[in-house]
Amino acid sequence: MESLKVDLAGIEIDNPVIPASGTFGFGYEFAELYDINVLGTFSFKGTTLSPRFGNPTPRIAECTAGMINAVGLQNPGVERVISEELPKLSRVFHKPVMANVSGFSVEEYEKTVALLDPCPEIGWFEVNVSCPNVHGGGMSFGTSPAAAAEVTRAVRAVTKKPVFIKLSPNVTDIVSIARACEEAGADGISLINTLLGMRIDLARRRPVIANVMGGFSGPAIFPVALRMVYQVAHAVSVPVIGMGGVQSAEDVIEMLMAGAVAVEVGAANLVNPTACRDIIADLPRVMRKYGITSLRDLKI
């Protein structure tokens, strides 16, 4: 009998499949389609200290084997997440959830995590350091080892729950950033966030996205994501969550072999709302095909 269970920073989950932040809302929306308790867990919509409307439209552009989005972290703000979203979630999801947190200053990250920390629904924090540092000229916290480490130390100081730092691939040396986060106290690393891309409307002769550029995701980026997961997983001693273009059970196994302990599924949810359920259901077949009895310790 195949075992799908894995350990995610000290918390055992039923399987390694996790819908990625920004593609699964706050979960209860998808609970209308299937029992989301089949999931290992999920990372809820990126949450900031204050409410955000997001970027102007259009925000989405289709691409060959992928998509570009520039939603801009639209969310109701941490206080409404606590008072409204988590109570609705707790009625349909009976496992620990991963809280995805974003910020535009170190203080914002720290305050948002501190407010969410007491919530019993939250098992892990996933801290997105791809946001612009408003005090650092607008450059992303995730492009600098020192800046990423500063955010890590700040959030680590206000929670005892596991902290995963979500890294941007739009850097020269992702390994040095991952190591800096580990040294600053991160319990794990999530990667990759979206690549930076754009499309141009030929008829109108201007960018499709109002924001000009956006995050490129989907199956086209899977080889890049796999390479970065492999590099980071072999450079740090903390667990790695792999993501980027995952759309099948085979992709999940490949990510685990690259060194991930769990795998997030993003853009596939926007194409097929039951993608994660279907991947989980197919994992035993793929495991039998390749003679795998457990999803733990597949790292090559």
State the catalytic residues: 131
The average pLDDT across 269-295 equals 97
Lowest mean pLDDT among 43-47, 138-142, 152-156: 138-142
Fold designation for 6-56+73-200+216-289 = TIM Barrel (3.20.20)
Q: What is the pLDDT of residues 172-204, one digit of tens each?
A: 999 999 999 999 999 999 999 999 999 999 999
Could you write out the three-class secondary structure of the chain? CCECCEEECCEEECCCEEECCCCCCCCCCHHHCCCHHHCCCCECCCECCCCECCCCCCCEEEECCEEEECCCCCECCHHHHHHHHHHHHHCCCCCCEEEEECCCCHHHHHHHHHHHCCCCCEEEEEEECCCECCCCCCCEHHHCHHHHHHHHHHHHCCCCCCEEEECCCCCCCHHHHHHHHHHCCCCEEEECCCEEECCEECCCCEECCCCCCEEEECHHHHHHHHHHHHHHHCCCCCCEEEECCCCCHHHHHHHHHHCCCEEEECHHHHHCCCHHHHHHHHHHHHHHHCCCCECCCCCC
pLDDT exceeds cutoff 80 at 265: yes
Q: Which residue has the higher pLDDT, 131 or 164?
A: 164
Lateral strand order in the sheet of 97-101:
17-19, 262-265, 240-243, 188-191, 163-166, 122-128, 97-101
Return d(Cα 166, Cα 188) in angstroms, integer: 9
Q: What percent of the chain is predicted at pLDDT more than 70?
A: 97
The average pLDDT across 2-24 equals 97
pLDDT exceeds cutoff 80 at 138: no
Q: How confident is the model at residue 1 (pLDDT cuts 50, 70, 90)?
A: confident
Q: How confident is the model at residue 134 (pLDDT cuts 50, 70, 90)?
A: low
pLDDT exceeds cutoff 60 at 214: yes
212 contact partners, CB below 8 Å, separation of at least 6: 198
Q: What is the pTM of this model?
A: 0.96
Q: What is the pLDDT of residues 66-110, one digit of tens each?
A: 999 999 899 999 999 999 999 999 999 999 999 999 999 999 999
Q: What percent of the chain is predicted at pLDDT more than 90?
A: 94
- The pLDDT, as a whole number, for residue 50 is 96
Return d(Cα 52, Cα 73) in angstroms, integer: 7
Q: Which residue has the higher pLDDT, 226 or 2?
A: 226
